[in-house]
Amino acid sequence: MSYYDEYPRYESAAERKAKANKSLEKLKKKNPDIEPAIIEGRTLAKNWWGKSWNKNLESYADYSNRIARGKSYVQNNAVLDLKISKGIALAKVQGSRAKPYDVEITIDALDNKRWEQIVELCNRRIDSLEQLIEGKFPKELEIIFTDKKYGMFPSPQEIHFTCSCPDWAYMCKHVAAVLYGIGARLDKDPMLFLS
């Protein structure tokens, strides 16, 4: 066996996208309630919540080795199904094999003390829920969400994940793609973060 037989053939972005679309159509036949993470264009997020979620992910060195590959995967619509509920995301991600990989991500809930501090900091500083959802609040309050130590966005220690792929890395590209998929969902529906 030669060196080239051991590794899969390089697939272009167009080939990966076509493969993901084919798998998506196949999954839709079995499950009409499938919820793909579709990225239109090159921009992953347009609104404050999605941009801030992605910026938070990209700020952690723990994730730097796979985050760029995950970004490529989500841009190629490889996150075929993404279900998000309180503290958990379940997904199917098209990888190099024919069958999509299963990804599960859980995020620790904020402890009561931290939540009380956040409520106190927001008290009388955010006029309405609509203002919060639109990301229109005083700049000094952004720290409530984005501070690495005290913010509401999760740190690497608060995010737990598994993937059915054979990758031995701490975080595989499929998990990274799902994390970006979560950012895309927050971009469209910030209430997911607050529920």
User: What integer pLDDT is reported at residue 96 of this predicted model?
Assistant: 83
102 occurs within a structural domain: yes
Query: In terms of residue numbers, what domain contains 162?
Result: 13-108+154-194
Rg of the chain taking only CA atoms, in angstroms: 18
Please tell me the total count of domains within the chain. Answer: 1
124 occurs within a structural domain: no
pLDDT greater than 50 at residue 3: no
Write the pLDDT tens digit of every residue in 81-107. 999 999 899 999 998 888 999 999 999
66 occurs within a structural domain: yes
3-state secondary structure at position 103: strand
Give the C-alpha separation, 5 to 97, whole Å. 15
The letter for the amino acid at 64 is S
Q: Which residue has the tokens 């000094």?
A: 140
Q: Could you tell me the pLDDT band of residue 180, with boundaries at 50, 70 and 90?
A: very high
62 occurs within a structural domain: yes
116 occurs within a structural domain: no
Provide the 8-state DSSP code for 94.
-
187 occurs within a structural domain: yes
Give the C-alpha separation, 37 to 188, whole Å. 11
120 occurs within a structural domain: no
139 occurs within a structural domain: no
- Tell me the pTM: 0.83
